[in-house]
């Protein structure tokens, strides 16, 4: 399971305040605690900073490079900001977040091919946000084909199944799970990811919903997630899910996590 830490996202109020204030100590704390918790990548998004997005992105990336060895997920709606940030990484593992059938693909594809970095593929087409498993799968197939034809390896593609809030659509969970199954069934080497906390948005005691969805998603084939890696309850639920799904020989990783939590 590829763990992507979610804490360096400007949509989180405390993170946004720290970014705006230039609070390097707090940003460093978010970096080091996520790294210590086992993050493989740190998602960095400064989009809410508006006209300061590039400056803040490059500042946070610099701190992440200095204080952790995790890979970097550059998360921006702007292809230009992504392209101006990638050269700062100097070979550090990288995932670009994101491209879709209608946005950023043409601008970012040459860099994705040249650097062989990872890329989050959003299965969104000309008709907007897909609402069914069939639509998501069809769009994902088109994106995978387009990326593959240009030389992007399947293992560098991360299809986001677009898990949506259960509070506004009670079918969103099953649709996301079925999409995971469909993609992994046909493309076993393509990664499948999601923003885990999206499913519980707007509901109380969110961690329980996140963890329930995580267990089902892992069993369906989810092998990457943007999540709070510092949450001990979620980490334990993750390793329990991997053990039940037969992805943890003799439950060794689960036992290790239990001992860490004691």
- DSSP class of residue 93 equals -
**Number of separate domains in the chain:** 2
End-to-end CA distance of the chain: 23
Are residues 36 and 16 located together in one domain of the fold?
yes
CA distance 14 to 45: 13
Are residues 131 and 110 located together in one domain of the fold?
yes
Are residues 104 and 214 located together in one domain of the fold?
yes
For 163-213, the pLDDT digits (tens) are 999 999 999 999 999 999 999 999 999 999 999 999 999 999 999 999 999
For 31-47, the pLDDT digits (tens) are 999 999 999 999 999 99
Are residues 41 and 127 located together in one domain of the fold?
no
Residue span of the structural domain in which 217 resides:
97-228
Sign of CA pseudo-dihedral 75, 48, 46, 15: negative
Are residues 125 and 223 located together in one domain of the fold?
yes
- Whether the model pTM is above 0.85: yes
Are residues 85 and 142 located together in one domain of the fold?
no
Which of 46, 25, 35, 28 shows the shortest CA–CA distance to 5? 35
Domain of residue 185, CATH code: 3.20.20.20
Q: 38, 60, 92 — which closes off a domain? A: 92
CA distance 14 to 235: 22
Q: What is the mean pLDDT of the chain?
A: 97
Give the angle 151-97-208 at the CA atoms, nearest 5°: 125
Are residues 74 and 150 located together in one domain of the fold?
no
DSSP3 helix / strand / coil % (the chain, rounded to 5): 55, 15, 25
Are residues 77 and 117 located together in one domain of the fold?
no
């Amino acid at each position: 399971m590829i763990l992507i830490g979610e804490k360096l996202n400007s949509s989180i109020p405390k993170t946004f305040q720290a970014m705006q204030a230039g609070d390097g100590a707090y940003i460093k704390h978010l970096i080091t605690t996520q790294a210590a918790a086992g993050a493989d990548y740190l998602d960095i998004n400064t989009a809410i900073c508006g006209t300061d997005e590039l400056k803040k992105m490059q500042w946070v990336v610099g701190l992440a490079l200095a204080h952790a060895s995790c890979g970097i997920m550059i998360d921006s709606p702007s292809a230009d900001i992504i392209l101006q940030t990638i050269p700062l990484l100097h070979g550090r593992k990288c995932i670009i977040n994101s491209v879709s059938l209608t946005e950023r693909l043409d601008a970012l594809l040459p860099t994705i091919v040249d650097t062989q970095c990872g890329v989050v593929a959003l299965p969104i087409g000309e008709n907007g946000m897909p609402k069914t498993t069939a639509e998501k799968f069809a769009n994902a197939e088109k994106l995978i084909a387009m990326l593959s034809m240009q030389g992007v390896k399947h293992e560098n593609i991360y299809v986001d199944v677009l898990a949506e809030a259960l509070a506004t659509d009670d079918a969103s969970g099953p649709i996301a799970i079925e999409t995971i199954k469909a993609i992994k069934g046909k493309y076993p080497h393509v990664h499948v990811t999601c923003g885990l906390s999206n499913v519980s948005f707007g509901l109380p005691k969110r961690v329980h919903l996140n963890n329930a969805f995580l267990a089902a998603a892992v069993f369906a084939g989810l092998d990457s997630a943007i999540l709070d890696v510092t949450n001990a309850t979620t980490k334990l639920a993750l390793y329990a899910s991997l053990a039940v799904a037969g992805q943890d020989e003799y439950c060794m990783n689960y036992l290790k996590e239990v001992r860490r939590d004691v």
